Amino acid sequence: MIRLERRPAPSKSWTYLAPLLAVLATMIAGAIMFALLGKDPFLAIKTIFWDPIFSPQFGSYSRPQLLIKAGPLILIAIGLSLGFRAGIWNIGAEGQYIMGALAGAGLALALYPMELPILLPLMVIAGALGGWAWAMIPGLLRTMFNTNEILVSLLLVYVAEQILSAAAVGFLRNPEGGGFPGSRNLQGYPSAHNAEIIANSGIHWGVVAALIAVIAAYVLLQRHVLGFHIKLAGEAPRAAKLAGVNPARLILFCMGVSGTLAGMAGLFEVAGPAGKISIDFGAGYGFTAIIVAFLGRLHPVGILLAGLLMALTYIGGELAQLMLSLPAAAIQAFQGMLLFFLLAFDVFSHYRLRIATGRAA
Amino acid sequence: MNSTDDLLVIDGVTKAYPGVVANSNVSFRIRKGEVHALLGENGAGKSTLVKTIYGLVTPDKGTMVLDGQPYAPPEPSAARQAGVAMVFQHFSLFDALTVAENIALGMETPPKRRVLARQIREVSEAYGLPLSPNRRVGDLSAGERQRVEIVRCLLQNPRLLIMDEPTSVLTPQEVEILFRTLRQLSAEGTAILYISHKLDEIRALCDTATILRHGQVVGDCVPRDTSARDMAEMMVAAKLDTPVKHPGAPGAEIFSVNGLSLPAASQFGTALKEIGFSVAKGEILGIGGVAGNGQDELFAVLSGETRTAPDSVTFEGQAVGRLGPHERRVLGILSAPEERLGHAAAPDMSLTDNALMTAALRMRLAPGGWIDWRRVREYAEHVIKAFDVRTPGPGTAAGALSGGNLQKFVVGREVLQNPGLLIVNQPTWGVDAAAAAHIRKALIKLAEGGAALIVISQDLDELMEISDRITAICDGRMVRPRPAQGLTMNDLGLMLGGRDPEEEAAA
């Protein structure tokens, strides 16, 4: 008989071991899946995990892509992790990402073609406000009417997507675009372009912002009372109340920070790698960031590593689709396995496995 | 001793958990129809032992013989079939269901509802435990809920009834009723294994006692012939000194509650009605009451977790009703709640983290919001040392401590912050005798230093021991506080029932 027995205190070593084992188990289960699909499993795993960085053929293209993809994932996930630590579940980062992009890009398009040195910083502020405002809707509804922030924030993603397509075909459409949907390309608007800081490195201001967010979140959680209260609220809500934490204020703070960072991520994307508002601008970063946050143990450094790993599976996955003609759904299933195994191995940080021998009936 | 008299013989039972041996080579026997006490500090292994007898725990070694037959229940249903029943300390009843429905849920093959209702009535009347099968459990008092659990056991005609801390939620009058029932059962041949911390009760009720310490049997005695003090010393293997309160001249009034009414927060909560009292500097006010009569609601109002009209609570002349726990701490109002895990402390966080939780402000552990972890650790170590908290160190998770040790930490964390007013809910709930004496002594010393204290407790002996004045809360109403000196147990019983002993006497 196999039983789970609660540990008196969470195991430190399992906390670090679980993500590594999850990656390993994902590789094994993924290899089996790829084999069942009739592909060479070793080649598929190598294409996903190795080739994007080390292949002489693709590396020069995919290495910068790694940072371009990881930047928004890390930025959004850092914001989400604060709320998740406190037991506040913002599932709608995708919507806040879109609204941030719309707000920031909208500002630039309204001023086009005026060249203004501080335009990009202004756009960042507009993007942050856009994401913040979108996140405040579930936050305020939660604190005022006790609605469920999971549902409200998630459903607002679909509202944001509708606004996005309305913008792309309507009020933000490029007047010189010959009637095609999509806005002007901000890459052609020097004041508004979030260009690479070092050419061909993939490092744009969004990547820098992600790194700053990692450091700031680390300091907040380790050294500041507010970070301590966030952790306390997640561990023991009643104890947090006794410690003097105001639950409503904490909800608004966590929703606000995650919305702000998601909005900034959207702005950096639309002003940089994506270049324009288009119907398919929302690429799922906001949802993938949830996986990144948990894969990174809701710890800033963990999220940094998890964001890079997740970006790797994206780029490697695209490469595998291209080179081995693996179906896109197989890659998504592969990414889903990662979260699945992580949550499964996570059980062992709080429980130990007991295998009863002999006398148990 | 004639061995055919033995109902249950326990021989060499050993059970080890990772890092701790809960029971080590435990042997004793329970005779038919006797009331047998199981005594020991928290963590002495009493719970593990009764869980073994009830089939919830499989021992690593050792055997049990029930009425001449080998007995090794793999699960509680097997124990029940063999005639072993148990009433747990924490009830497992559904508030929204009726008494009969709750009892039917615990049975393998429940009879028809009408038959069951008749059986419940018969059994409850036969043993002096009045109980109506059709009432909703949510409307019952704690004492009545316990009757449901007892009747549920009695319907199985048990040969051995295990009772884990049964009187902790009862008034003295209800305890008397329970004891009559238990004596009747014993006279009819049902053996009772009785676990309690309250040595006076054990002396009044039990025929024999087995004493456990660190998982081992360290002795047995006949409680009637042994003093409570001797039994306590056998449990802890040390001399105990009872704290003594030196009543000083009462200081100036520092804290008062006036005309406080508060609707119940939930369906099964208690509304507070017209509560008013005051506390003076250097005074300990004890608030008695049976669990669930509004203590938790009152505590939340006093600590600031529940906010009220500004002037319904005043401290040093200032209206503080609208202030939260943090703002009250600024003024010197500190509190330690009853529930250790999840309320007074975060179980998965370290003692250092838990020290920071309520001491950040007054001990200046986080100047300007930036945590000074070195000072936090020093404060945690200070609490651990001053209150003799047994733990490997401040990095240990709070949930890994035993109940008594964590309680010492929680109380110590507040006491050492030098409060002007300290509110404690159940300071020694589930805490062993030595730790309880330690905590009470610290509270008395704090009051002697000039602080005002409000102690909410269900333990009447404790209230008598430390309080200057005593009041009680019943169904959300408070009786007039009375000086502790000269109060009898009978007076206290009346007060717990919401009546004023002086008015009763006058009537």
In chain B, which residues have pLDDT < 70?
1-4, 18-20, 42-43, 237-249, 507
Task: Tell how strand B6-17 and strand B20-31 pair up.
Answer: antiparallel
Q: Is there a contact between A206 and A70 (Cβ–Cβ < 8 Å)?
A: no
Interface membership of A178 toward B (CB under 8 Å): no
For chain A, state the CA radius of gyration: 22
Interface membership of A12 toward B (CB under 8 Å): no
Choosing among A238, A246, A349, A351, which should be mutated to test the B contact, i.e. which has the most B CBs within 10 A? Answer: A238
Q: Does any domain span residue B241?
A: no
Global confidence as pTM: 0.78
In chain A, which residues have pLDDT < 70?
1, 8-9, 356-361
CA–CA gap between residue A297 and residue A319 (Å, rounded): 28
Domain tally, chain A: 1
Portion 220-239 of A in contact with B at CB < 8 A: 223-226, 228, 231-232, 235-236, 238-239
| Cα-based angle A135, A142, A136 (whole degrees, multiple of 5) | 20
**Main-chain phi, psi angles of A75, to 5 degrees:** -60, -45
SS3 state of residue B324 = coil
B269 and B219 in one domain? Answer: no
Q: What is the pLDDT of residue B2?
A: 47
Q: Does any domain span residue B248?
A: no
The boundaries of the domain holding residue B34 are 3-236
Q: What is the full DSSP assignment across B222-242?
A: -GGGS-HHHHHHHHHTS----
CA of residue B251 relative to chain centroid, distance: 31
Tell me the C-alpha to C-alpha distance, in Å, between residue B5 and each of B2, B8, B66, B79, B318: 6, 9, 11, 20, 68
Q: Does any domain span residue B411?
A: yes
Q: Does any domain span residue B325?
A: yes
CA–CA gap between residue A22 and residue A25 (Å, rounded): 5
Query: What number of C-beta contacts closer than 8 Å exist between A and B?
Result: 83
Question: Which residue in A231, A246, A360 is closest to B324 by CB distance?
Answer: A246
- Closest alpha carbon to B423 in B315, B318, B319: B315
Interface membership of B227 toward A (CB under 8 Å): no
Q: What is the pLDDT of residue B18?
A: 65
Verify whether the Cβ–Cβ distance A8 to B400 is below 8 Å.
yes
Would you tell me how many other CB atoms lie within 10 Å of the CB of residue A356? 11
Verify whether the Cβ–Cβ distance A244 to B324 is below 8 Å.
yes
Q: Does any domain span residue B144?
A: yes
Residues of chain B found within 8 Å of residue A14, distances taken between Cβ atoms: none
Residues of chain A found within 8 Å of residue B397, distances taken between Cβ atoms: 8-10
B413 and B479 in one domain? Answer: yes
Domain tally, chain B: 2
**Main-chain phi, psi angles of B258, to 5 degrees:** -130, 125
Verify whether the Cβ–Cβ distance A242 to B343 is below 8 Å.
yes
Q: What is the pLDDT of residue B333?
A: 96
> End-to-end alpha-carbon separation of chain B, Å?
54
Q: Is there a contact between A92 and A282 (Cβ–Cβ < 8 Å)?
A: no
Q: Does any domain span residue B245?
A: no
Question: Which residue in B347, B358, B369 is closest to A226 by CB distance?
Answer: B369
B355 and B283 in one domain? Answer: yes
B154 and B29 in one domain? Answer: yes
A113: cis peptide before it, omega within 30°?
A: yes
CATH assignment at residue B311: 3.40.50.300
Q: What is the pLDDT of residue B247?
A: 62
CA–CA gap between residue A257 and residue A251 (Å, rounded): 10
Token pair in block for residue A132: 């913040």
B179 and B322 in one domain? Answer: no
Q: Does any domain span residue B201?
A: yes
Q: What is the pLDDT of residues A173-205, one digit of tens each?
A: 998 888 889 999 999 999 999 988 988 888 999
B349 and B267 in one domain? Answer: yes
Interface membership of A9 toward B (CB under 8 Å): yes
B368 Cβ contact list (under 8 Å, min separation 6): none
Choosing among B58, B357, B363, which should be mutated to test the A contact, i.e. which has the most A CBs within 10 A? Answer: B357
B489 and B375 in one domain? Answer: yes
Q: Does any domain span residue A10?
A: no
CATH assignment at residue A315: 1.10.3470
